[in-house]
Structure 1
Amino acid sequence: MRSRTFGGTARAVPVVGQGTWHLDQADPAAAIATLRAGLEAGMTHIDTAEMYGEAEPLVGAAIAGRRDAVFLVSKVVPGNASRAGVVAACERSLKRLGTDRLDAYLLHWPGRHPLAETIAGFDALRQAGKILAWGVSNFDVADLDAALAIAGPGQIACNQVLYHLQERAIEHAVLPWCQRNGVALVGYSPFGSGDFPDPRSPGGRVLARIAEAHGITSRAVAVAFLTRAEGSFTIPKTARPERARENAAAGAITLSPKDLAALDAAFPRGPRPRSLPML
């Protein structure tokens, strides 16, 4: 599994991690077994959120006894992102996760509370040792500029954004901004929302051909493509241990320039949208 420095944290984090959105809809035992299979395969970055229902307790059960080996991330919803609200929400997440700290804590998307208040809450949590770093999610360039102006350089650990083969909007401006400012870019929903390319489609055939050449799955090819850029990470979600191991295999693959060109042609990024896509 390839690892990269996660923003300004100085932590080496695997390029492929584990998402947990809707994981609480799976059988709990299967969900926990899948997370543990992912950890054993090297996907030690686990992302969750207070908004994800019962996902946090499932994560807590999966990492019990191995917390120090995990890069653990959770997120606060904007409605709880006042200075005091951030602290209270984090305490609740820590309790559900059964841990005393998060490696990174993110604002889930921009909201009504002043960003300066949210960042002040993050700083209070960091000073108390409850979080080691903080970041943002679903932030476009203007939002990132605002956060940088308040916090200063080196403080924003990451920006978590929608990123898959058929939704590459972040490559226009958000990814370059993150690279210039030393902010990790974490792509969520790397397989789309139930619309992963059909193997009979032109793009699906390109994926299958590259997958066969590397001895991996088409989904693993997609993951390898989405983590090709310096500073980029991805967090696929699954409730099947065998799929978790397939996802992890992508972390050891380096696609050739020919592979990258073929995928770029099959899944063009398209024009820059007026607003940042998100789920």
Structure 2
Amino acid sequence: MNTPMPRLGMGTWHLAEGRHPETQEIAALRAGLDAGITLIDTAEMYADGRAESLVGRAIAGYDRSRLFIVSKVYPHNAGRRHLRRSLEASLKRLGTDYLDMYLLHWRGSVPLAETVECMEQAKDDGLIRNWGVSNFDTNDMRELFATPGGEACAVNQDLYHLGSRGVEYDLLPWMDAHGLPLMAYCPLAQAGTLRRGLLESPAVRTVASDHGVEPIQVLLAFVLHRPDTIAIPCSGNAEHVRANLQARDLKLSADELALLDQAFPAPTSKQPLDME
């Protein structure tokens, strides 16, 4: 990877959808930037491009060279006919002339060899610094690395959190063996029953109490305890974004990790890749 990728970033899935006032969401992103969170992840899919536009407004006035901006291309746009146009549209919405990372959002019908060729051309042209993939499982990664140029893939972004550990069975060991970082989206789980179950877990609450932090910071620290994992929690609330920073320096002991593992064990067989 040409530029070191920060371990903690800000996601934008579900932003710019009217759930919060736009001014609040921009303030949340800027609170993170002001606190030193320089990685922002977005996609042309998110809110039909409005999330990219939101990020563009949030980063206006900041030193672009200090930021790490990630976006993603739809699978049907990831070939010779459309990738360049999609990339340029994303850049325009973001108000920047390059991306630090450009990801194939998930696998589609465009051959991987064609996508790799287009990604490498975009890199040669200076429009992107690095490229990677998202929602790829083990067999997808094997196929990608067997594709000419595929080993230039710099990251794989998948859903990963304490309550969804399927990637630990064979995908993460494969990625570790190939020196490929995991970019974990939804590291705090989506809203709903699963997230409440994690936050109300006696094991999570015990660890949080021992460190004097909130349960949500323990969930984030669990994801970040792996040295080659990047976490991109999403929030439209400035206070929550700043609270996420506290998890960056939270070190979980072996005993604490064992307690969390007992409460939410990793699977002992192959699981379908979670995406929601």
Q: What TM bracket, shorter-length normalisation? A: over 0.9
User: What residue number does 1:62 align with?
Assistant: 58
Q: How far apart, in 1, do the equivalents of 2:274 and 2:197 lie?
A: 22
User: What residue number does 1:197 align with?
Assistant: 196
Amino acid at match of 2:179: G
- 1:10: Cα distance to partner? 4.7
Contact (CA 8 Å) 2:159, 2:275: kept in 1 or not? yes
User: What residue number does 1:101 align with?
Assistant: 98
Describe the superposition over 1:186-207 as per-residue Cα deviations: whole angstroms up to 9, x where unpaired.
1111122213134785xx2221
- 1:274: Cα distance to partner? 4.7
Greater Cα offset, 9-18 or 212-221? 9-18
User: What residue number does 2:8 align with?
Assistant: 16
- 1:153: Cα distance to partner? 6.9
User: What residue number does 1:50 align with?
Assistant: 44
Q: How far apart, in 2, do the equivalents of 1:151 and 1:178 lie?
A: 18
Q: Secondary structure at the match of 1:100?
A: coil
After the TM superposition, which residues 246-261 of structure 1 pair with which residues of structure 2 at under 5 Å, given as runs? 246-261=243-258
Q: How far apart, in 1, do the equivalents of 2:275 and 2:197 lie?
A: 22
- The RMSD of aligned alpha carbons is 1.6
User: What residue number does 1:238 align with?
Assistant: 235
User: What residue number does 2:107 align with?
Assistant: 110
Shift of the 24–272 alpha-carbon distance from structure 1 to 2, 3 Å rule, reads farther
Q: Secondary structure at the match of 2:208?
A: helix
After the TM superposition, which residues 82-97 of structure 1 pair with which residues of structure 2 at under 5 Å, given as runs? 82-97=79-94
Equivalences, count? 269
Q: How far apart, in 1, do the equivalents of 2:176 and 2:204 lie?
A: 27
Q: How far apart, in 2, do the equivalents of 1:248 and 1:126 lie?
A: 31
**Residue identity (%):** 43
After the TM superposition, which residues 214-225 of structure 1 pair with which residues of structure 2 at under 5 Å, given as runs? 214-225=211-222
- Consecutive unaligned residues in structure 2, runs of 5 or more: none
Q: How far apart, in 1, do the equivalents of 2:52 and 2:165 lie?
A: 29
Q: How far apart, in 2, do the equivalents of 1:61 and 1:88 lie?
A: 21
Amino acid at match of 1:181: H
- 1:45: Cα distance to partner? 1.0
User: What residue number does 1:41 align with?
Assistant: 35
Tell me the TM-score normalized by structure 1: 0.92
Describe the superposition over 1:150-197 as per-residue Cα deviations: whole angstroms up to 9, x where unpaired.
144751110000111111000111111111112110111112221313
Contact (CA 8 Å) 1:199, 1:208: kept in 2 or not? no
Of 186, 207, 212 in structure 1, the residue corresponding to residue 209 of structure 2 is 212
Contact (CA 8 Å) 2:169, 2:270: kept in 1 or not? no
Q: How far apart, in 2, do the equivalents of 1:173 and 1:144 lie?
A: 11
- Consecutive unaligned residues in structure 1, runs of 5 or more: 1-8
Q: How far apart, in 1, do the equivalents of 2:108 and 2:151 lie?
A: 23
Tell me the TM-score normalized by structure 2: 0.93
Contact (CA 8 Å) 2:144, 2:150: kept in 1 or not? no
- 1:230: Cα distance to partner? 2.3
Q: Secondary structure at the match of 1:110?
A: coil
Describe the superposition over 1:192-251 as per-residue Cα deviations: whole angstroms up to 9, x where unpaired.
2213134785xx222122112222211111111111112111110000000001111111
